[in-house]
Amino acid sequence: MKRIGLSVAGGVVGILFFLPLLWVVTNSLRPGSETFANLDPLSWQTFFELRPTLVNYSALVSSEIGRATINSILVSAATVVIGLAVCATAAFGLAAFEFRGRGLVFGVVVLSFLVPFDAIAIPLSTMFRDWHLTNTFTGLVLPGIGNGMAIFLLRQFFLGIPAELVEAGRLDGLGWFGVFRWIYLPLSKPALIGAGLMLFLFQWQAYVWPLLIGTDAQHILGPVALSNLQGQNFTDYGLVFAGAVVLTVIPLVVIAGFQRYFVQSVSSTGLK
Amino acid sequence: MRQRQGLIALAFLAPALVCLAVLRIVPAISAVVESFYSESLLRGGRVFAGLGNYTDLLSSKDFRQSVGVTLLFTVLVNPIQVAVSFLLAVLFTQRAAGARLWRTLVILPIATPPAVSAVIWSVIYRPDGLANGVLERLGLPAQPFLTSPGQVLGSLIVLLSWIGVGYWMLFLIAGIQEIPAEVREAALLDGAGPWRRMVSVVLPLVRRPLAFVLVADTVSNLLVFAPVQILTKGGPNGNSNLLMYDVYNRAYAIGDIHVAQAEVVILVALTLAIVAGQFRLLRGDQ
Domain CATH code at residue A92: 1.10.3720.10
> Phi, psi (5° rounding) for residue B199?
-75, -40
Q: Cβ contact (<8 Å) for B12 and A180?
A: yes
- Which residues have C-beta within 8 Å of that of residue A263, sequence separation ≥ 6? B170, B174
Nearest by CB: A252 against B111, B170, B212: B111
Inter-chain touch B23–A207, beta carbons under 8 Å: no
Identity at B144, one-letter amino acid code: P
Residue to test with chain A: of B4, B24, B171, most A Cβ within 10 A: B24
List of chain B residues whose C-beta atoms are within 8 Å of the C-beta of residue A93: 8-13
State the helix-helix crossing angle for A2-28 and B61-92, rounded to 10 degrees. Answer: 130
Same-domain pairing of A45 and A66: no
The reported pLDDT for the residue numbered A268 is 63
- Which residue of B lies nearest to A151 if distances are taken between CA atoms? B16
Amino acid A272: pLDDT: 41
Specify whether the CB–CB gap between A84 and A151 falls below 8 A: no
Please judge whether A146 and B105 are an interchain contact, meaning their C-beta atoms are less than 8 angstroms apart.
Answer: no
Q: How confident is the model at residue A271 (pLDDT cuts 50, 70, 90)?
A: very low
User: How large is the average pLDDT for residues A10-30?
Assistant: 93
Chain B residue at shortest CA distance from A128: B23
* Chain A interface disruption, residue of B19, B87, B103, B258, most A CBs within 10 A: B19
| CB-closest option in A20, A86, A108 to B120 | A20
The whole domain housing A176 covers 60-270
The per-residue pLDDT string of chain B (286 residues; one tens digit each, 9 = 90 and over) reads: 567 788 899 999 999 999 999 999 999 999 999 999 988 776 667 888 888 899 999 999 999 999 999 999 999 999 999 999 999 999 998 888 888 899 999 999 999 999 999 999 999 999 888 999 899 888 899 899 999 999 999 999 999 999 999 999 999 998 998 888 888 788 888 877 778 888 888 888 888 889 889 999 999 999 999 999 999 999 899 999 999 999 999 998 888 889 999 999 999 999 989 888 888 877 755 4
State whether A76 and A206 are in the same domain: yes
Q: E strand or H helix at A195, and its extent? A: helix A189-205
Residues A74 and A203 in one domain: yes
- Chain A residues whose CB is inside 8 A of the B254 CB are none
CATH superfamily of B61-283: MetI-like (1.10.3720.10)
User: How close, in Å, is residue A3 to chain B by CA atoms?
Assistant: 5
- Rounded to an integer, what distance in angstroms lies between the CA atom of residue A101 and that of residue B9? 11
What separation, in Å, do the N-terminal and C-terminal C-alpha atoms of chain A show? 37
Q: Are residues A29 and A85 in the same domain?
A: no
Predicted local confidence at residue A196, as pLDDT? 94
> How many contiguous H segments (helices) and E segments (strands) does chain A have?
15, 0
- Contact criterion met (CB < 8 Å) for B16 and A102: no
Q: Which residues of B19-46 are buried (b: 16+ CB within 10 A; e: fewer)?
A: bbebbbbebbebbeebbbbbeeeeeeee
CB under 8 A, 24+ apart: contacts of B65-70? B65/B238, B65/B241, B66/B234, B66/B238, B66/B241, B66/B242, B66/B243, B66/B246, B67/B243, B67/B270, B69/B153, B69/B238, B69/B239, B69/B240, B69/B241, B69/B242, B70/B222, B70/B242, B70/B243, B70/B270
d(CA A23, CA B226): 21
8 Å CB contact between A188 and A158? yes
pLDDT of residue A251: 95
Say how many domains are in chain A: 2
Shared domain for A32 and A78, answered yes or no, is no
Whether the per-residue pLDDT at A241 is higher than 60: the answer is: yes
CB–CB contact B5 A94 (8 Å)? no
Instruction: Determine the length of chain A.
Output: 272
Same domain? A231 vs A190: yes
d(CA B108, CA A197): 16
pLDDT interval class at A5 (50, 70, 90): confident
Is the same domain home to A45 and A82? no
A37-50: average pLDDT? 78
- Residue A42 pairs in a beta bridge with A39
Q: Please check whether residue B89 is in contact with residue B173, taking contact to mean a CB–CB distance below 8 angstroms.
A: yes
ipTM (interface predicted TM)? 0.91
Check whether residue A69 and residue A3 sit in a common domain.
Answer: no
Report the residue from B19, B27, B137 with minimal CB separation from A146: B19
Within 169-228 of B, beta carbons closer than 8 Å to A belong to 170-171, 174, 208-209, 212, 216, 219, 223, 225-226
| This prediction's pTM | 0.91
Q: Name the 3-class secondary structure at B158.
A: helix
Contact A10/B96 with Cβ under 8 angstroms? yes
The percent of chain A in helix, strand and coil, each rounded to the nearest 5, is 75, 0, 25
A132-158: per-residue pLDDT in tens?
999 999 999 999 998 999 999 999 999
The alpha-carbon gap from A33 to the nearest alpha carbon of chain B, in Å, equals 13
User: Is A146 within 8 Å of B24 when comparing Cβ atoms?
Assistant: yes
A47 pLDDT band (50/70/90 cuts)? confident
**Residues A22 and A79 placed together within one structural domain of the fold:** no
Per-residue confidence (pLDDT) for residue A232, from 0 to 100: 67
CB count in 10 Å sphere of residue B190: 11
**Chosen domain end from A31, A52, A73:** A52
Select from A27, A56, A25 the least CA-distant residue to A39.
Answer: A27
CB-CB contact of B175 with B210 (8 Å): yes
> Is the Cβ pair B102, A11 closer than 8 Å?
yes
Give whole-number Cα distances, B257 to A118, B8, B111, B230, B264, in Å.
Answer: 16, 41, 34, 22, 10
**B54-112 residue pLDDT tens:** 999 999 999 999 999 999 999 999 999 999 999 999 999 888 888 889 999 999 999 99
B interface mutation test: which of A205, A209, A253 has the most B CBs within 10 A? A205
Q: Which residues of A touch B104 (CB under 8 A)?
A: 14
Contacts A–B by Cβ distance under 8 A: 271
Q: Name the band, by pLDDT with cuts 50, 70 and 90, for residue A131.
A: very high
Regarding whether A190 and A220 lie in a shared domain, the answer is yes
* HSE-up (13 A, CA, CB side) for residue B45: 3
What is the distance in angstroms between the Cα of A268 and the nearest Cα belonging to chain B?
A: 10
Shared-domain flag, residues A180 and A208: yes
- Where are chain B's structural domains? 61-283
Q: Which of A179, A232, A263 is nearest to B119 (CA)?
A: A232
At residue B3, the 3 state secondary structure works out as helix
Contact B105 A90 (CB under 8 A): no
- A227 and B118 within 8 Å at the Cβ level: the answer is yes
Same domain, A33 and A145: no
Residue A230: its chain B contacts at CB < 8 A? Answer: 119, 122-123, 230
